[in-house]
Amino acid sequence: MYADCQNDAFHRDSFELESSWSDTLSPLNEQTSTMTGEFAFLSEELDASFAMPNAETTAFPFSCTMTATPAPSVNQPFTTSDKRQSELAANSNTKLGGPDGDPSADSEISDEELDSILARQIPFDQHLDLVMTLSTLIDTAFPASEQRQDTHYNRERPASQSRAATPISASFPDLGKQADFLLLLSNFAQILHNFEICFRFLRLFVKRRRASNQTVDDILACLDRILPSVHMGMVSLSTTTKLRTMIILDFVKTLLAELCNKMQLCVSRFSALQAALYVCNTVVNYAIFCYKFRKAQALYGCQPLRRAPTKDPILGLDHFVRLAKAAGSRRYLETLQQWFREVGSTFGANWMGDFVIFTNEPQNVQALLVTKFADFELGQRRRDNSRQLLGVGIFNADGADWEHSRALVRPNFTRKQVADLAMLEKHVKILLAGLPGKGERVEMQEWFFRFTLDAGTDMLFDQSSNVLLPNAIETARRFAWAFDKGIDGISQKLQMGAFAWLVYDSKYSEACKYVQDYADRIVEAAIERRRTRNSHSEDKQEVEKETEERYTFLNALIDEGTSPREIRNHLLNTLLAARDTTACLMSGAMFELARNPSCQDKLRAEIGRLNGGLPVLEDIKDMRYLNMFLKEVLRLYPPIPLNSRFAKNDSVLPRGGGKDGMGPIFIPKGQLVVYQVYSMHRREDIWGPDAHLFRPERWEIMRPRFEYLPFNAGPRICIGQQFALTETSYVLIRLLQSFSEIKAANPGEVWTENLTITCS
């Protein structure tokens, strides 16, 4: 659900500010992320072929298409003897569409194709009663007059087994117009009392009917994508439990339709089945959670967790609607803060079918990030949703992959690298030259993001994107656009959590490819330069000395022997953190600077000691009020205001249990815990009654620990925090040296958020 949230203040001040928070907001169970990602696959043609009933006749008025990489089937096929296959093939009158899906191209199915199909199905002579049961259900649900007459499937029963009272021929109707598919499926499951046979027969049923625009292989591929995900969610449950989950389909279908109507969601027809199965899995998971929690109460002395009041105990739609509206009005963080005030510092809530634990309790955050660090991880969902743009790196990796990534990135943020202010000054001059003259308005957020992109690419890629220049080349401008587009796409997917398959943007893949191609060209050119230089250099000591004096992350990765693809992934992951975190901090600082003339006066007095000279690292560290000013900016506008962790083991958090919320709570494996730094930084019981006010002087006496976490804490603390603070300090000093007055263009305008993503 939540990646580390990034804070882009969104303002127009004298330098009209706009900042953006970066985050991910969708608390959904990691357990089901694979399932949901594998269902948004139907094309419009298949959608038309298997359309659910329309809004007047069914609870599922869905329509639209999604695309995703198909999942391989994991079903073990039923087999029949060669003799039996020949008999089935000989008796079959089924016709299928031509290879191009054209109904006019019908041809009799070949023996080989029929053998290939039926070799994976249930032998009819072994399960003939199942055929009769399905036939009866269909005849009951759909009058014969409504059935399609062009898609008959006849199978003669042996004379010795004939039953005069029960017809054995089934005329399969058009499910898209005549049937409530989920009702049929759940009823059939109840009769069969066997989950796997039900779904295997369903596959045979669909394959044996005529598809108006699809070949049999297309239909098989669709169902092969459904079955692995169904088994993934229920493989460890008993047959009885599996049966019960199917029965739940009847209960949830109306609720799902109401949700989609309210939100005006458009999903493919078979996505309705997926959503129902997802809810079934959620109910089972919740039951397992309740069982584990009761068991843990005795084992760990845990107490009941406080729950957020809800009108929808299954999906938590009221919570989703409330926060979705808040996000749409750029008030998500503020609304979540109000939720904490209403319920408490730690509570549980259902969110789109998942049970999520929310906290802004410092002791719980300390446990998540430090004392119980080994029990929690970012989770697979973040990797799945960000891999297309970023690959695997410090932003989304866990375990050994994360340790390796962090070890590679760490040398880039040593004291020597942070102290290299000459590189920053080069880009500051371009920034100052591009800003409008005296008295003109300017939106600073755009300038700050371009500045940090130029500085970040210079530091990491050994060449700047130079998007600050008025004559920036088109490839650099397009890279900046594509990088933003890719980040926005990841953010949207993470916000939807297990329903990320609903997010579709035709330009997202294009943007990801452009970013990676751009980075690949830089990596390839750098590798070639290093190879050429090393082959022509006679003085190896001179080469090593030059490398040491002109350290860049890209060259260090090349010298490490890292593969080109891994180099690209590390560069993009680190650029994400280097650009967005710092730009957000700069935007928040400028917002408060423009609104507080008294703060400007104090900062100018402190900066005046430089007598107009350029600051060095020691000068910045000696500026006490500047440091307090930035700490207060980070308190009210933390670059990572929202974050989350999945439990990879059963664990315990110290606060949140009991009526007073002071007892420990049990955290089962797979549980999602969301912690909000934004509201923790504004708690009046920690910061006093003026917690909502910007007052840098509070830092003269405040010495918080885990109550103040602008850059996270523990092993995953932001590795570039000193670089971000130094870069922001340097830019503010140079702006104050260059402009005699900085005013807010709209003094009454309030700060608003824009949620994207960043690194941890």
The string of pLDDT tens digits covering residues 712-758 is: 999 999 888 999 999 999 999 999 999 988 988 887 777 877 766 65
Quick one: 265 and 412 in the same domain? no
96 - beta bridge partners? 107
Assess whether pLDDT exceeds 80 at residue 409: yes
| Integer-rounded Cα radius of gyration of the chain | 30
The string of pLDDT tens digits covering residues 484-495 is: 999 888 888 877
Residue ending a domain, choose from 300, 319, 338:
300
Separation CA 4–CA 757 (nearest Å): 6
Quick one: 254 and 388 in the same domain? no
Quick one: 296 and 395 in the same domain? no
| Domain assignment of residue 498, yes or no | yes
Between residues 681 and 248, the one the model is more confident about:
681
Confidence of residue 101 (pLDDT cuts 50, 70, 90): very low
| Domain assignment of residue 659, yes or no | no
The string of pLDDT tens digits covering residues 11-25 is: 333 343 333 333 332
Separation CA 720–CA 728 (nearest Å): 12
Separation CA 280–CA 23 (nearest Å): 29
Between residues 410 and 756, the one the model is more confident about:
410
* Beta-carbon count within 10 A of 646 CB: 23
pLDDT of residue 205: 44
Quick one: 392 and 285 in the same domain? no
Q: Which domain holds residue 630?
A: 383-534+550-641+692-738
Assess whether pLDDT exceeds 90 at residue 377: yes
The string of pLDDT tens digits covering residues 501-537 is: 777 788 899 999 999 999 999 999 999 888 887 666 5
Q: 356: closest CA among 328, 316, 416?
A: 316
Quick one: 283 and 398 in the same domain? no
* Token pair of 491 as six digits: 């953010």
How far CA 578 is from CA of 430, 457, 582, 622, in Å, comes to 19, 9, 6, 24
Between residues 669 and 364, the one the model is more confident about:
364
Assess whether pLDDT exceeds 70 at residue 48: no
**pLDDT average, residue stretch 620-645:** 95
| Domain assignment of residue 199, yes or no | no
The string of pLDDT tens digits covering residues 56-91 is: 322 222 222 222 233 333 333 333 334 444 443 444
Separation CA 653–CA 655 (nearest Å): 6
Assess whether pLDDT exceeds 90 at residue 370: yes
Show Cβ contacts of residue 431 under 8 Å, excluding neighbours closer than 6 positions: 447, 451, 468, 731
Q: Which long-range contacts (CB under 8 A, 24 or more apart) does 437-443 make?
A: 441/12, 441/14, 441/15, 441/16, 441/745, 442/15, 442/16, 443/12, 443/15, 443/16, 443/17, 443/18
Between residues 631 and 758, the one the model is more confident about:
631
Residue ending a domain, choose from 265, 300, 335:
300
The CATH number assigned to the domain holding 508 equals 1.10.630.10
> With contact defined as beta carbons under 8 Å apart, do 345 and 336 qualify?
no
pLDDT of residue 414: 81
Assess whether pLDDT exceeds 70 at residue 216: no
Q: Whole-prediction pTM value? A: 0.64
* Token pair of 595 as six digits: 């609104």
Expressed in percent and rounded to 5, the helix, strand and coil fractions of the chain are: 55, 10, 35
pLDDT of residue 153: 34
Confidence of residue 166 (pLDDT cuts 50, 70, 90): very low
Assess whether pLDDT exceeds 80 at residue 601: yes
Assess whether pLDDT exceeds 90 at residue 1: no
| Domain assignment of residue 353, yes or no | no
pLDDT of residue 438: 73
Confidence of residue 99 (pLDDT cuts 50, 70, 90): very low
Confidence of residue 360 (pLDDT cuts 50, 70, 90): very high
* Strand 354-359, strand 107-108: pairing: unpaired
Confidence of residue 163 (pLDDT cuts 50, 70, 90): very low
Q: Which residue has the tokens 């990676």?
A: 516
Q: 249: closest CA among 229, 218, 275, 270?
A: 275
676 - beta bridge partners? 642
| Domain assignment of residue 752, yes or no | no
| Domain assignment of residue 420, yes or no | yes
Separation CA 587–CA 444 (nearest Å): 7
Residue 611: phi, psi to the nearest 5? 55, 40
The string of pLDDT tens digits covering residues 149-158 is: 333 333 333 4
Assess whether pLDDT exceeds 90 at residue 260: no
Quick one: 453 and 591 in the same domain? yes
Residue ending a domain, choose from 300, 316, 339:
300
Quick one: 290 and 415 in the same domain? no
Assess whether pLDDT exceeds 60 at residue 203: no
Confidence of residue 440 (pLDDT cuts 50, 70, 90): confident
pLDDT of residue 652: 93
pLDDT of residue 154: 36
Report the domain count for the chain.
2
Quick one: 590 and 730 in the same domain? yes
Separation CA 649–CA 681 (nearest Å): 29
* Beta-carbon count within 10 A of 505 CB: 13
How far CA 86 is from CA of 91, 113, 114, in Å, comes to 9, 11, 9
| Domain assignment of residue 629, yes or no | yes
Quick one: 582 and 705 in the same domain? yes
Say which DSSP state 150 is in.
T
| Domain assignment of residue 429, yes or no | yes
Residue 165's SS3 state is coil
Highest mean pLDDT among 59-63, 196-200, 370-374, 753-757: 370-374
pLDDT of residue 10: 36
Between residues 491 and 708, the one the model is more confident about:
708
Query: Average pLDDT of the chain?
Result: 70
